[in-house]
Chains A and B, each alone.
Chain A
């Protein structure tokens, strides 16, 4: 627990730095925010200057950037993330809903990727150069290299249009989870398989593994307890990066399958210059990324006795 708390300690400072960046960057693009917001709300290419002025006043955009930032930060510290410029809905609700949807997708995709990628990598490492190893390597290359915008329509064509076993689009029931999860799991699953295979092959050649074999441990025990266990530390570290990427960056999948997730919401907010949503959504991703990184580091300690000893000797 103390290791976890130590790793989470920098989170407030990271968040503060991120909040400054997130606040400043949209304002440095030179885009006229009231005009962009009005365009997002209507199909009007030529917003009325009087209306623009009213919108700017309503959102406090006429104040200096420092005043705007401090006002936003103060409200955020009180738990008030404000209202969306475009939809006028509470930002906490907008971001929370998106985060919940993307969270479900992320957890399921990572779970699927790990449950297939890790055993596949371990098995390939147990017989390097074998037929299955080569087959899994080829599948891994395909999984890593085929982009989501190709894989997603292909899965729809096969499973929704061809076989008719799952719906092509939509969100709401368990049936809607299948295609996006398969799409999102392909890359991390393939990457995990490749990583685990490489690490396991390397670990199986170490002295302590040879010693374990010499002591008469069964091949399966050697492989899983001494080989795969160490190899999975790299996969655990990888998952921290993947979590943040999937949470905020699954725009393609969310658009293709019509899913109201955080990535699509953030993308729409950026187009519409919906500053409160951009700020809150980005910070949410930062919080998750930092937290996931800390949790993963602690998990790595559990899995890797050498690192654990190093940590305990601090």
Chain B
């Protein structure tokens, strides 16, 4: 028996040794990331390579009509005619100036001189016309130019004319959409989807793409603007938030975004610089106003009073969100920043009693939400508990959004907890304010209809001044709050961290390049 044991044990040990050897060999030969946590301190190394872990892989092989243009812009690869400044107003990018012509339907954009594409060809008016005509002609054009009768023509070698069917005050802002990036004419030569490799103008050249797994960027040394911070960047798309955090902690990558709240302290203690900043998104408890009980504003007010939004943000979500007092949050200049008050259960009970719902006729409602965003079921359960204290019995149902959407849009629901970005693909709230809250809105889940609100929104097409538009956005949001059109629950926070790199600048609107500012430290 002793020989048996020896041989079998030898086999086991051999297998284990092989495993350990595999680990050791691959670790040595593969050049795995080091474990040193340098944090963001130390000297900068502008010629070093950088590795980053990003949250969202390309949806459709970097197609501009699939929101992937915005990713290329974030990477610092593709550029648009305009960008936005800190006041969320249009600012120069590939166009240095713009003006509305005598025909109010037409805007003239003057192009920046001395810009070359990554393939070496110059930026010309014809190139811009080719690029934007292509993206306007696809099956599903980007939202920024969809349905506005977009046309473009060259106006000499250094300018383009953009015309819309009706006078449009926000054309310069529309041109800041990342999905309207300008590629070289060679990108469109083959027909079909444009080639994004080495055809853009940004501080980084997209050198290699490996599906939704990774991409490689190299610095564009002939860039017209500020030089990018790294010689090369390996972009890894990691959809699992915890994996991104662990990759940053292990030193595999020097920058990661979209990190789970539970890992932030651990990352800080490992030497990472962690940044939390507002996102242009609201978690809203939508209330069906087309039927009882939420047709009665007193019931809606009671629900609002019963929900403790500061507690939801700070305790239930562990600080991963800010309590919402308005549709718009701190991500935009017109957003409300003062926190809402906490719960007032007695007031909620009084309002319910006034509406005829007391112990003799308790209120029972259904609350639907979806699991794709992990915070949604958690929030739904907490809201259920909070409403329960006010005497409202809530039946929480979690299910696939797409399957339930027809019923929700048809008004066959009581309460629906939704998470929604309040900007479309450029920094203007008209689209959300129209589709979600006007009487004929295509996404008016609350079934809210107010002629006064519609009249307010109808004024937007005539307002060119960005500051005036923003004031009107704020006024519309206040009207929604006053009429208790749903309960604005929380505004989620974005997170990002560097570990061995520096130069990250938070951009709540996701409208500016992120990677070019990052530089390795050591």
Chain A residues engaging chain B, CB cutoff 8 angstroms: 29-32, 35-36, 38-51, 54-55, 58, 86-89, 97, 112, 115-116, 119-120, 122-123, 126-127, 153, 156-157, 159-178, 182, 218-220, 223-224, 255-260, 271, 273
Looking at B67, B214, B402, which has the most chain A CB atoms within 10 Å of its CB?
B402
Query: Which residues from A are CB-within-8-Å of B420?
Result: 45
Tell whether, in the assembled complex, residue B139 and residue A58 are in contact, meaning their CB atoms are under 8 Å apart: yes
Interface string of B68-87 (1 = CB under 8 A from A): 00000000000000000000
Question: Which residues on B are within 8 Å of A, measured CB to CB?
Answer: 1, 3-5, 7-9, 11-12, 15-16, 18-19, 22-27, 29-35, 53, 59-61, 63, 65-67, 139-140, 142-143, 146-147, 193, 210-214, 236-240, 242-244, 246-247, 249-252, 372, 400, 402-403, 405-406, 420-421, 424-425, 435, 442-443
- Which chain B positions have C-beta within 8 A of A218? 3
A contact residues around B5 at 8 Å (CB): 123, 126-127
Contact B32 A175 (CB under 8 A): yes
Q: A86-B60, A122-B8, A123-B12 are in contact. Are A164 and B143 (CB under 8 A)?
A: no
Contact among B9, B35, B65 for A41, CB-based, below 8 A = B65
Minimum Cβ distance to chain B for residue A221 (Å): 9
Known interface pairs A41-B67, A42-B143; A171-B213 also in contact (CB < 8 Å): yes
Q: How far is the CA of A239 from the CA of B52 in the complex (A)?
A: 37
B435 interface neighbour in A46, A87, A255, Cβ under 8 Å: A46
CB proximity of B280 to chain A, nearest CB, Å: 11
Distance (Å) between the CB of B240 and the closest chain A CB? 5
- Partner among A31, A164, A170, A257 whose Cβ is within 8 Å of the Cβ of B251: A164
B32 touches A223 (CB 8 A): no
Closest 10 CB pairs of A and B: A175-B30, A164-B35, A165-B27, A123-B8, A119-B11, A41-B66, A258-B238, A46-B443, A175-B26, A260-B213
Residue from the list A115, A123, A173 in contact with B9, Cβ < 8 A: A123
In the bound assembly, the distance between CA atoms of A101 and B442 in angstroms comes to: 42
**B406 proximity list for chain A (CB < 8 A):** 30, 32
B30 near A173 with CB under 8 A, answer yes
Given pairs A48-B147, A123-B5, A169-B247, 13 additional interface contacts (CB within 8 A): A42-B425, A87-B59, A120-B12, A123-B12, A126-B5, A160-B33, A165-B27, A170-B213, A170-B247, A178-B26, A256-B243, A260-B211, A273-B402
B402/A168 in contact, CB under 8 A: no
Q: Per a CB cutoff under 8 Å, which of A29, A55, A168 touches B252? A: A168
Would B32 and A166 count as touching, CB distance under 8 A?
A: yes
Closest to B441 in A: A46
B52 to chain A, nearest CB (A): 12
Q: Which residues on A sit within 8 Å (CB–CB) of B424?
A: 44
Inter-chain contact A164/B139, CB cutoff 8 Å: no
Smallest beta-carbon distance A7→chain B, Å: 31
From the candidates B19, B24, B246, name the one contacting A156 in the complex (CB within 8 A).
B246
Partner of B3, one of A127, A219, A257: A219
- Complex Cα distance, B139 from A259, in Å, reads 31
Instruction: Please state if A168 and B250 are interface contacts (CB–CB under 8 Å).
Output: yes
> Do residues A220 and B4 form an inter-chain contact, with CB atoms below 8 A?
yes
Which B residues are in CB contact (< 8 Å) with A220? 3-4, 7
How many Å lie between the Cα of A126 and that of B4 in the bound state?
Answer: 8
Contact A177 B26 (CB under 8 A): yes
A271 to B147, CA, bound (A): 28
Chain B min CB distance to A302 (Å): 21
Q: Please measure, in the bound complex, the distance between the C-alpha atom of A254 and the C-alpha atom of B11, giving whole angstroms.
A: 30
Q: List 21 A-B contacts (CB under 8 A).
A: A31-B400, A32-B405, A39-B402, A41-B66, A46-B443, A49-B442, A50-B147, A86-B59, A86-B66, A119-B11, A126-B1, A153-B242, A157-B246, A160-B247, A164-B32, A165-B23, A169-B244, A171-B214, A255-B243, A257-B243, A259-B213
Residues of A within 8 A of B3 (CB): 218-220
A256 touching B240 in the complex, CB below 8 Å, given contacts A126-B5, A161-B246, A174-B30: yes
A41 touches B59 (CB 8 A): yes
